């Protein structure tokens, strides 16, 4: 059975302003959204292998989340590291604008660590949730050493991190070198405009959004899953837009795979 690796960071989110009348919400974020989307969208003959380091403080919760997924390869478990897990405070200013503050110390991957773990994979989805999942050298070694297709969401590579953990948009240093590491690259509009002024639009379905958190992660994982199934780019993007719209009408990642599969009936 072919296997796709999912590389990124599980983040514990504290979300403010998603509902102006509600108290802040704490829940899994980051790569959890992509795992849920991949779980729902993978072709029937594929399984996924998370390549995710998790801080010791949240490793038991991460293992519980893994158990909610149906498409994991047998024996899959979080890779526990002896540091606090990454935590992010999100403060929404509008449905599509937010500020982000990160704490935690989960280290990135080195090529000696990562190389053996991708050797038996057939494809790889990489999502720079923290922006520190690996350095450029490791990404270049991955691009040279891995023979399958690599889809990368570069999102937080475009975010500088201040001394207080606040993230701010910046142009990506060595952008051409980063782009050369991957077969397919995902950027959002703000990131794209850091390096180009021409974009194309494939409009998503209209939806009454209640929570935009994780939409880009759901989009990317769904898009890549459909590309692995042999769907053309336009069809994969259309499916990804539909999944991201379903995510925007749902809160949280814990039961998101069931929502994306249509298993949940929402009141």
Give pLDDT, residue 260: 84
Neighbours of 208 (CB within 10 A): 7
Report phi then psi at 170, rounded to 5: -145, 155
What sections of 147-255 are H helices per DSSP? 175-179, 189-192, 215-228, 233-248
Residue corresponding to tokens 């998503």? 204
Give pLDDT, residue 201: 62
Give pLDDT, residue 212: 74
Give pLDDT, residue 208: 62
H or E element, residue 257: helix 256-261
Give pLDDT, residue 141: 98
Give pLDDT, residue 58: 96
Per-domain residue ranges of the chain = 3-261
Instruction: Kindly give the parts of the chain with pLDDT less than 70.
Output: 18-21, 94-96, 189-211, 249-250, 263-267
Q: How large is the angle between the packed helices 233-248 and 215-228, nearest 10 degrees? A: 150
- Of the candidates 147, 157, 158, 151, the residue with the CA atom closest to the CA atom of residue 126: 151
Give pLDDT, residue 145: 96
Is 3-261 in CATH node 3.40.190.10?
Answer: no
User: What are 210's two structure tokens?
Assistant: 């209640």
H or E element, residue 47: strand 47-51
Report phi then psi at 238, rounded to 5: -60, -45
């Amino acid at each position: 059975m072919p296997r796709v690796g999912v590389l990124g960071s599980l983040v514990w989110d504290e979300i403010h302003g998603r509902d102006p009348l509600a108290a802040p919400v704490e829940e899994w974020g980051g790569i959890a959204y992509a795992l849920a989307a991949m779980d729902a969208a993978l072709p029937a003959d594929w399984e996924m292998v998370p390549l995710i380091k998790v801080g010791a403080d949240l490793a038991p919760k991460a293992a519980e989340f893994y158990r909610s997924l149906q498409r994991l390869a047998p024996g899959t478990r979080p890779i526990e590291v002896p540091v606090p897990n990454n935590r992010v405070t999100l403060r929404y200013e509008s449905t599509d604008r937010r500020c982000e503050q990160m704490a935690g110390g989960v280290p990135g991957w080195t090529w000696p660590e990562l190389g053996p773990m991708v050797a038996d994979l057939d494809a790889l989805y990489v999502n720079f949730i923290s922006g520190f999942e690996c350095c450029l050298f490791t990404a270049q070694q991955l691009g040279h050493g891995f023979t399958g297709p690599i889809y990368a969401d570069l999102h937080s590579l475009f975010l500088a991190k201040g001394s207080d953990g606040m993230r701010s948009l910046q142009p990506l240093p060595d952008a051409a070198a980063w782009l050369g590491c991957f077969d397919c690259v995902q950027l959002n509009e703000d990131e794209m405009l850091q390096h180009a002024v021409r974009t194309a639009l494939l409009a998503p379905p209209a939806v009454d959004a209640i929570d935009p958190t994780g939409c880009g992660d759901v989009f990317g994982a769904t898009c890549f899953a459909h590309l692995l199934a042999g769907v053309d780019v336009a069809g994969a993007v259309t499916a990804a837009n539909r999944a991201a719209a379903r995510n925007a009408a749902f809160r949280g990642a814990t039961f998101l795979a069931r929502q994306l599969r249509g298993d949940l009936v929402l009141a």
